[in-house]
Structure 1
Amino acid sequence: MTETQTTEGRVPETADVTFPDGRYGRRRAPRRRRPAVTAVLLVGVVAAGLFAAWRLSELYGQNEVSERLLGYDDSVAGQVDITFEVYKPAGEGATCAVRSRDLAGAEIGYAEVAIPADGSTRVEMTYTLSVEGEPNTGEILRCWQPD
């Protein structure tokens, strides 16, 4: 065992290692760090991410109109009574899509229901949907503000 080696065969950090010339290629000088370029790129990536999040929330974010299914009654042949409530801005109307499906999951009835504009923010409504077959469900798909 030599003076510069430890028992594990490693060279201690204090030893100055020199490699034979030409054997491992020429050594490169350390690259200059550019913190300004890194900072500008980081700010650009963060700004692009924030812009994408804002744009996607504008397109697909929370709507001002929300809905909730309260129940449905399919006891009468050929129709389903769907009871639901809609929360909307006061003084504005809304449109809601309702549907019914059979046991196989096929859509057997669909309608778009207009909610009138009035001063209330909560409207409870029962809509009678005509169906073509034996219904299994009554659903409210979504509500939106008309253009």
Structure 2
Amino acid sequence: MTETQTTDGRAPSAPSGVADVSFPAGRYGRRRSPSRHRPALTALLTVGVVAAGLVAAWRLTEVYGQDEVSERLLAFDDSVAGQVAITFEVYKPAGEGAVCAVRSRDLAGAEIGYAEVAVPADEATHVEMTYALAVEGEPNTGEVLRCWQAD
């Protein structure tokens, strides 16, 4: 055994920093040169994408945004036979009227009562109403489906 061989016959590795490693040509593809960074282009594209997103959000809010009339169910009482008392509040523009669709369903989910309730046009923007809805069967729920501006 010579000094340049290990016990299993391999050549010893060179100490670190002594020899540069060179890979066989063509084996690992070509090396890329460092690319130029273009921060101005990146910033411009980022601003463009954000601006386009804001414009799209604004336009979708205009088309599909919240109506001027909104509703909220406060309570329902089905203790009286043949009717359900539905208490709800409506937010609407001052001086405008509204119409709200209310309904009741039974335990199986079938609709057993439906009505469209007129909300008077006055200067109030918040109106709380209770409507006695006539039903045909055993009620399980009282609901406000939606409200819209009256014509």
Q: TM-score w.r.t. structure 2 length?
A: 0.71
SS in 2 for 1:82: strand
Residue equivalent to 1:31: 35
Q: Deviations over 1:85-107 (max 9, x none)?
A: 22222111112121101112222
SS in 1 for 2:71: strand
Q: Deviations over 1:51-74 (max 9, x none)?
A: 232233334444433323333333
Unaligned runs of 5+ in 1: 6-10
Distance 1:69 1:21 in 2: 76
Q: Identify the match of residue 93 of structure 1 among 78, 85, 97.
A: 97
Residue equivalent to 1:3: 15
> What's the CA shift for 1:137?
1.6
Code of the residue aligned with 2:38 in structure 1: it is R
Code of the residue aligned with 2:16 in structure 1: it is T
Code of the residue aligned with 1:88 in structure 2: it is K
1:137–1:26 CA distance, 2 compared to 1 (3 A): closer
1:46–1:128 CA distance, 2 compared to 1 (3 A): same
Distance 1:52 1:131 in 2: 45
Distance 1:139 1:81 in 2: 10
Q: Identify the match of residue 140 of structure 1 among 113, 120, 144.
A: 144
Whether 1:105 aligns to 2:105 is: no
Count of residue pairs brought into register by the alignment: 139
Distance 1:29 1:69 in 2: 66
Identity between Structure 1 and Structure 2 (%): 79
1:106–1:20 CA distance, 2 compared to 1 (3 A): same
Code of the residue aligned with 1:127 in structure 2: it is Y
Distance 2:111 2:23 in 1: 78
Q: Which has the larger radius of gyration?
A: 2
What's the Cα RMSD here? Answer: 2.8
Q: TM-score w.r.t. structure 1 length?
A: 0.73
Unaligned runs of 5+ in 2: 1-12
Residue equivalent to 1:130: 134
Distance 1:4 1:32 in 2: 32
Distance 2:28 2:89 in 1: 77
Whether 1:119 aligns to 2:117 is: no
Tell me which moved more, 57-66 or 118-127: 57-66
Distance 1:121 1:24 in 2: 73
